[in-house]
Amino acid sequence: MSPVTVAACAVILGAAFAAGALLIAQRIPRWAAPSLSRRIAPYVRDVADPVGLTPLHPLPAWQGWRTARDRLARGWGGGANGDALAQRLRQAGLAPDVVGFRATQLGWAVAGLALGGVLAVVLTLSGRGGLVAVLLPPLGAVAAIVICEQRLTTRARRRIARIDDELPTVLEFLALCLAAGEGLRDALRRVGEVGSGVLTEELRAAVLASGTGSNLSDALLGLAKNVDVPALSRAVEHLVAAMDRGAPLAQVLQEQAVDAREDAKRALIESAGRKEILMLLPLVFLILPLSVLFAVFPGIVMLKLGIS
């Protein structure tokens, strides 16, 4: 056996032994059960932290890993990037917990690192090791981080696209309810009860917030800020301005619905233009060369055979 194979076998056996030892240690009652200081920590504020969750002795291994993970995620998700990430989480319909998302992303990175390590060991045992086997673990970690980030971005974009599609219909329905004599809060409640889309869920949350002490204008502005869709933000701003000035709300909503439909038509035309350019790619690089080949190839064969 070569030294590399011996090292790979040693890594596998060492990892298996460490995993077995940790599992055995976790099941020992003295270590698995919470200690007395941890049980009384929530009731003794002067010797515990303000939350009452930090014990008076060193943390077990898994709790120490969780603390280190949370600290790293908190440092990773701070600043302007943390605000942008919180906005994307709100757009995706998730809780704006930047630390929690970074912790999940860190867990994905560890899983990708472990998977890359396993693949590197397999390649080394099969005799195909080298630079590729060395680069597999970090590449797996980076790929896991990128995939987790891309999943969030894709979910946020799909949710924003659904809100854009639902906005004209919701505005027209609100205008119809207001024209029938209902108040704005009742109209919003009716739309939230009848509808089943993403925007209606946001409207239900806004109505619930306005019914629990918040102002309706502030709730609508908070909805527009959380979703951050230009058409919805514009409609909410016009609606709030009309509420403050006493303008007819039904007419304002009808005009905003027309503007939203015009924006949707313009976006559809732009998307069709981009897809038209993309459709030219297979035509230019696949169909046209094949047509030229079918037209020229018989003549070339005839010239080679000397057939006149």
Say if CB 218 and CB 232 are below 8 A apart: no
Give the percent of the chain with pLDDT over 90. 4
Is residue 210 included in any domain, yes or no?
A: yes
Predicted confidence at residue 49, as pLDDT, reads 46
246 is a domain residue: yes
pLDDT-based confidence at residue 56 (cuts at 50, 70, 90): very low
Whether 81 is covered by a domain: the verdict is no
Which of 58, 75, 101 is at the close of a domain?
A: 58
Q: Is residue 194 part of a domain?
A: yes
pLDDT surpassing 70 at residue 1: no
Mean pLDDT, rounded, for 67-90: 66
Long-range contacts of 64-67 (CB under 8 A, 24+ apart): none
Helix (H) or strand (E) holding 113: helix 98-125
Inter-residue contact 125 to 150 (CB < 8 Å): no
Task: Give the Cβ contact number of residue 137 at 10 Å.
Answer: 19
Interval 212-233 mean pLDDT: 84
Average pLDDT of the chain to the nearest whole number: 78
Domain boundary among 39, 58, 77: 58
SS3 151: helix
Res. 32: pLDDT tops 60: no
**In the listed set 31, 58, 85, which residue is the last one of a domain according to the structure?**
58
The residue behind tokens 């597999």 is 136
Q: 253 vs 72, which has greater pLDDT?
A: 253
pLDDT at 154: 92
Residue with tokens 């912790």: 103
Q: Which domain holds residue 36?
A: 1-58
> At which residue do the structure tokens 């037209």 appear?
295
221 in a domain, yes or no? yes
Asked if residue 170 belongs to a domain, the reply is yes
Full-model pTM: 0.64
Q: Is the pLDDT reported for residue 86 higher than 80? A: yes
Task: For residue 117, tell me if it sits in a domain.
Answer: no
Report the pLDDT value the prediction gives residue 50, as an integer from 0 to 100.
45
| Domain presence at residue 177 | yes
- The residue among 98 and 82 whose pLDDT is bigger is 98
The answer on pLDDT for 160 being more than 70 is yes
Could you tell me the two tokens for 224? 């527009």
How many folded domains does the chain comprise? 2
235: domain CATH number is 1.20.81
